[in-house]
Amino acid sequence: MAATRTLPKLDADNRAFWTGGAEGQLRLMRCQDCKTFIHPPRPVCRKCLSENVKPEAVAGTGVVYSYTINYQKWSPTMEVPFVIARVAIDGAPGVLLTTNIVDCPVDSVDIGDKVRVKFLQQDDVFIPLFEKIN
């Protein structure tokens, strides 16, 4: 993995997601009326158009929905190979987070693996990476 990662520009919609890790929390936007999780976070529910939305902490576990092992160095400083995955978040139906599965051999990851969030802080951003639960 590259020593430094490209970071998101923080704004009113995404700040809770990208800084929740400061309190060890994975926070997803949720409609308070119909209870749908809204990801990417926006100030309106895509199911019922309610503006009554706010970030909520979820358990921070999930299941590998799909993955790829990336071998290509997209920049000179990037360390390869590494795993990119989409993780289905427990308790948040329909939400799939693109992330990295870390701290395990790259060929040990499979669809259906149970994983847990592990935040990586860089500047003011807490990047939600995931590790396998044994």
Partner 1 sequence: MSANEAYISGVGQSEIGTRLTRSPLLLTLDAVREALDEAGLTIGQIDGVSTYPGRIPAYLGFSPVGADELIDALGIRATWYAGGGEISSQLGAVVAAAAAVRAGQARHVICFRTVYEAAALARPDEYPRPQRDRVDGSSQWFAPFNAISAVTWTAQYAMLHVKRYGLKREQLAQIALTARAHSALNPRALVREPLTMDEYMSARMISSPLCLYDCDRFTDASTVVIVSAGDALDEVKCTPIRIAAMAGTVERHSWDQADELACYPTGADLWKRTDYKPADVDTAQLYDGFSFQALAWIEALGFCELGEGGRFIEGGKRIALDGELPLNTFGGQIGAGRLHGFGFAHEAVVQLRGKGGARQIPGDPRVAVSTSGGGPLATALLLARD
Q: With left for phi above 0 and alpha for psi between -120 and 50, is residue 24 left, alpha or beta?
A: left
Mark 60-99 with x for binding to partner 1 (rule: CB under 8 A) and - for no binding: ------xxxxxxx-x---x---x-xxx-------xxxxxx
Taking contact as CB under 8 A, which single stretch among the options 1-9, 25-33, 50-58 is the one that binds partner 1? 1-9
How many beta carbons lie within 10 A of that of residue 40, not counting itself?
Answer: 11
Residue list 10-49, contact with partner 1 (CB under 8 A): 11, 14, 39-40
The rounded distance, in Å, linking the Cα atoms of 79 and 62 is 26
Provide the minimum distance between the beta carbon of 7 and partner 1 in the complex, in angstroms, as a whole number.
5
Rounded Cα distance, 26 and 65, in Å: 18
Site size for partner 1 (CB under 8 A):
36
55 to each of 5, 51, 90, 106, 111, how far by Cα in Å?
A: 24, 12, 16, 32, 28
Smallest gap from Cβ 8 to partner 1, in A, equals: 4
CB of 98 to partner 1, least distance (A): 5
CB of 55 to partner 1, least distance (A): 16
Q: Transcribe 19-48 into DSSP letters.
A: HGGGGT-EEEEEETTT--EESS--SS-TTT
CA–CA gap between residue 105 and residue 93 (Å, rounded): 28
Q: Which is nearer to partner 1, 6 or 134 (CB)?
A: 6
- Positions in the binding site for partner 1 (CB under 8 A): 1-2, 5-9, 11, 14, 39-40, 66-72, 74, 78, 82, 84-86, 94-100, 110-111, 125, 127, 129
